[in-house]
């Protein structure tokens, strides 16, 4: 019996030593590894807190003497309470190996999952889901997000007005309310080669106050937007939307309000309503886009001033282009656009005075050009005064309500 007791005691002591060594080793893995001016902190625990957790790693990385890399080694992390901000003064990287690490934030009551408060921060390979508020708040310069995914959050990425040099590339955004929200333009901000789908309000929301239209434009290029309510809402924040693909937008592919937008060289296809809406816009440029398959208008310019539509190609839409109630003192212009086989009218002008020059409307099912005044409730009628120069409206011709004016040079017949 004494031998059995001795063996049992030895086993208990050995197990206790193993547990203590395991905890020591896990704690050691969470400490910075020595390197040439940088530290590596490993995340080995997917819980909200404790040794080896992401929370512990962010605290360690914040106090590192040089740039810190947080290397995530677990497939899933559950965040239940606010994490510390990412604030290493020398820069910080969060990385997860392929296929990435899921960060589930459903239990986080409010606030961002990741708060980027320090410059030179990068994130690579995270899949952030179920955020009641924001997935990533960026309030510092030189932030880089790549090869990550944000899904089912209120706001995917919130870019504060003091952020600049932001690069978002090769990420996926799905089923958020807003995928990306910009408070201001910022310098050298690029959104490229991302995929957006099924966002409830907008994929990209870049709207500022009337005095916000200054600085370098946000450059959105080579992204793909599918099944969005509205892919891009832009107003009073300089923005260049170029070489993107839009498909099946329910409200609009691009909705412009205010000033400082250039929409150029995009492929915009299929939707329940309209392709591009310029509403109360000033000086917007819509150039060299291909637009097709929309149930209503390919391009709608409403209540706007100085909008330029140039060299766009529209086909198979309900209507081509509309100008409604614009500013007669700063008329919008449509030049060298081609509209093929609209189901109804090619160009509608309602209570507006745009300049229409060298446009072509081919094989409309109704009128190539329809001009009409606008009768507000209880007020005087607003007449339409478009200026026409060398357009090709073919045999379908133009129609104007009595009392409206369609001035300018005669229109060319179909050759």
Task: Please say whether the beta carbons of 279 and 299 come within 8 A.
Answer: no
pLDDT band at residue 363 under the 50/70/90 scheme: very high
- Tokens 């009128």 belong to 367
Task: Please say whether the beta carbons of 263 and 276 come within 8 A.
Answer: yes
* pLDDT higher than threshold 70 for residue 359: yes
- pLDDT tens column, 21-65: 444 444 443 334 444 467 999 999 999 999 999 999 999 999 999
Residue among 352, 388, 307, 407 nearest 299 (CA): 307
Sign of CA dihedral 288, 294, 297, 302: negative
pLDDT the model gives residue 238:
95
φ and ψ at residue 52, rounded to 5 degrees: 80, 0
pLDDT band at residue 145 under the 50/70/90 scheme: very high
Q: Which of 1-15, 31-45, 85-99, 320-334 has the lowest mean pLDDT?
A: 1-15
pLDDT the model gives residue 405:
54
- pLDDT tens column, 6-24: 544 554 444 455 444 444 4
Q: Kindly state the average pLDDT of the residues 247-268.
A: 96
Q: Kindly state the average pLDDT of the residues 222-232.
A: 98
How far apart CA 120 and CA 92 sit, in angstroms, is 7
pLDDT the model gives residue 377:
83
Question: What angle (nearest 5°) sits at the alpha carbon of residue 346, between those of residues 341 and 352?
Answer: 170
DSSP class of 136: E
Structural domains present in the chain: 78-408 (2.160.20.10)
Instruction: Determine if the peptide bond prior to 248 is cis (ω within 30°).
Output: no
* pLDDT higher than threshold 70 for residue 75: yes
pLDDT band at residue 406 under the 50/70/90 scheme: low
Residue among 309, 359, 349, 344 nearest 326 (CA): 349
What's the Rg (C-alpha) of the chain?
Answer: 29
Task: Please say whether the beta carbons of 167 and 147 come within 8 A.
Answer: no
* pLDDT higher than threshold 50 for residue 226: yes
pLDDT band at residue 215 under the 50/70/90 scheme: confident
* pLDDT higher than threshold 60 for residue 260: yes
Q: Which of 33-37, 401-405, 406-410 has the lowest mean pLDDT?
A: 33-37
Integer angstrom CA distances of residue 364 from 267, 278, 323, 339, 340: 22, 23, 18, 8, 7
pLDDT the model gives residue 119:
97
Hey, what are 269's tokens? 């296809």
Using a pLDDT cut of 90, give the percent of the chain over it. 79
pTM here is 0.87
pLDDT the model gives residue 320:
98
pLDDT the model gives residue 388:
96
Chain-centre distance of CA 279, in angstroms? 19
pLDDT the model gives residue 15:
47
- pLDDT tens column, 276-319: 999 999 999 999 999 999 999 999 999 999 999 999 999 999 99
pLDDT the model gives residue 196:
98
Strands 143-146 and 167-169 come out as parallel
pLDDT the model gives residue 29:
39
* pLDDT higher than threshold 70 for residue 73: yes
How far apart CA 94 and CA 90 sit, in angstroms, is 14
Query: How long is the chain?
Result: 415
Angular region, 394: left φ>0, alpha ψ -120 to 50, beta rest: left
Q: Kindly state the average pLDDT of the residues 244-263.
A: 96
How far apart CA 240 and CA 83 sit, in angstroms, is 34
Q: How many CA atoms lie within 13 A of 348 on its CB side?
A: 21
pLDDT the model gives residue 411:
52
């Amino acid at each position: 019996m004494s031998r059995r007791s001795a063996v049992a005691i030895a086993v208990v002591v050995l197990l206790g030593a193993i547990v203590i060594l395991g905890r020591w080793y896990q704690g050691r893995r969470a400490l910075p590894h020595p390197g040439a001016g940088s530290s590596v902190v490993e995340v080995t625990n997917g819980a909200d807190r404790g040794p080896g957790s992401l929370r512990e790693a962010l605290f360690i990385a914040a106090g590192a003497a040089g740039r810190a890399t947080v290397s995530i080694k677990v497939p899933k992390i559950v965040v239940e309470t606010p994490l510390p901000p990412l604030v290493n003064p020398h820069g910080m990287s969060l990385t997860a190996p392929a296929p990435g690490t899921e960060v589930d934030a459903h239990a986080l009551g409010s606030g961002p999952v990741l708060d980027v408060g320090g410059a030179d921060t990068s994130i690579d390979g995270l899949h952030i889901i179920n955020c009641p508020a924001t997935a990533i708040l960026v309030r510092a310069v030189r932030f880089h997000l790549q090869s990550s995914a944000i899904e089912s959050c209120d706001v995917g990425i919130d870019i504060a007005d003091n952020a600049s040099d932001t690069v978002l590339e090769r990420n996926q955004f799905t089923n958020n309310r807003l995928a990306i929200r910009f408070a201001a333009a910022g310098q050298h901000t690029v959104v490229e080669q991302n995929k957006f789908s099924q966002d409830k309000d907008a994929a990209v929301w870049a709207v500022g106050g009337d005095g916000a239209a200054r600085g370098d434009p946000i450059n959105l290029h080579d992204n793909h937007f599918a099944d969005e309510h509205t892919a891009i809402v832009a107003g009073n924040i300089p923005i260049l939307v170029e070489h993107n693909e839009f498909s099946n937008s329910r409200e609009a592919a691009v909705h412009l309000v205010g000033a400082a937008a250039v929409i150029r060289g995009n492929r915009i296809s299929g939707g329940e309503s309209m392709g591009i809406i310029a509403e109360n816009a000033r000086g917007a440029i819509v150039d060299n886009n291909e637009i097709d398959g929309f149930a209503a208008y390919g391009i709608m310019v409403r209540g706007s001033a100085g909008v330029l539509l140039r060299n766009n190609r529209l086909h198979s839409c309900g209507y081509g282009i509309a100008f409604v109630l614009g500013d007669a003192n700063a008329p919008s212009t449509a030049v060298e656009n081609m509209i093929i086989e609209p189901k109804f009218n090619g160009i509608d002008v309602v209570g507006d005075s745009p300049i229409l020059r060298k446009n072509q409307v081919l094989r409309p099912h109704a009128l190539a050009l329809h001009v009409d005044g606008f009768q507000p409730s209880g007020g005087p009628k607003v007449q339409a005064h478009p200026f026409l120069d060398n357009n090709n409206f073919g045999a379908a011709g133009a129609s104007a309500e009595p009392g409206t004016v369609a001035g300018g040079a005669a229109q060319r017949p179909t050759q």
